[in-house]
Amino acid sequence: MRIGAHVDPASPLEEAAARGAEAVQFFLTDPQGYKTPKPREDAAALRESEVDVYVHAPYIVNVASPNNRIRIPSRKLLMAHAKAAAELGAKGLIVHGGHVGQGADIAAGFDNWRKAFEYAESDGGLPLPILIENTAGGDNACARRFDDLARLWEAVGSFGAGFCLDTCHAFAGGEDLVGVVDRVKAITGRIDLIHANDSKGGFDSGQDRHDNLGNGKIDPELIVAAIRAAGAPAVVETPGGAEGQTADITLLRERTGR
Ligand SMILES: [Zn+2]
């Protein structure tokens, strides 16, 4: 079980080495834009590296949206990123659970998720696992509250969807971290990756503001316990560059005994 960090995409392997990370996660394009990823010069190096690679889809991807002009490009962008991530030998493509917006029926969001997987199947199939991540906020979010997550999984579970548990998002989203892994696994049957982040925002604040472990509102032992219980690799998406993230990785290694 590996521990790593979300890093700048310019030279992920150098960033991994600087942190002693066994896994790296990065964006392939501007996370706020609808850009199709370009082939990377370091694709072979990433594929052959001992470091496990994860790719995070752009934040603007929202396949749950009832708005055609968001949902359709999101679907296509997700597939383009899946193909590009597979070229790098990535273990998974992480994408936020999305939201339907104020006043909209969340049921449409779950159905749109199902359609996104159907679209992927019709476009040659997903070349790597899609890991749906829980979110801290979002109006009528599909993967903030776990009762909604259960409805999402009824729609996507049969497509082999994976799950990424973000500890900051769960806490700020209003889900107790005590026993969180068992509650998620009862719904999804799996946790493929942990985003091990502390939270600047309080419990149920809805704020997506990551902090270094022990600096925020979460007891670090709850994050350690979640990693242990999940038996999954963990990536820190914390501030402070190589220095801040190395301290977080070291804390996790010491306390999980990895
Ligand atoms: Zn995350």
Ligand 1 centroid to residue 76 C-alpha, Å: 22
pLDDT band at 257 (very low <50, low <70, confident <90, very high): confident
pLDDT tens for each residue of 73-95 = 999 999 999 999 999 999 999 99
Ligand 1 centroid to residue 131 C-alpha, Å: 11
Ligand 1 centroid to residue 236 C-alpha, Å: 8
Ligand 1 centroid to residue 210 C-alpha, Å: 9
- Average pLDDT, rounded, for the chain: 97
Give pLDDT, residue 119: 95
Q: Where are the beta strands (DSSP E) in the chain?
A: 3-6, 23-27, 52-56, 92-96, 130-133, 162-166, 193-195, 198-199, 210-211, 234-236
Ligand 1 centroid to residue 42 C-alpha, Å: 24
Give pLDDT, residue 139: 83
CA-only gyration radius of the chain, Å: 17
d(CA 163, CA 200): 23
Q: Quick one: average pLDDT of 20-39?
A: 96
Provide the 3-class DSSP secondary structure of residue 206: coil
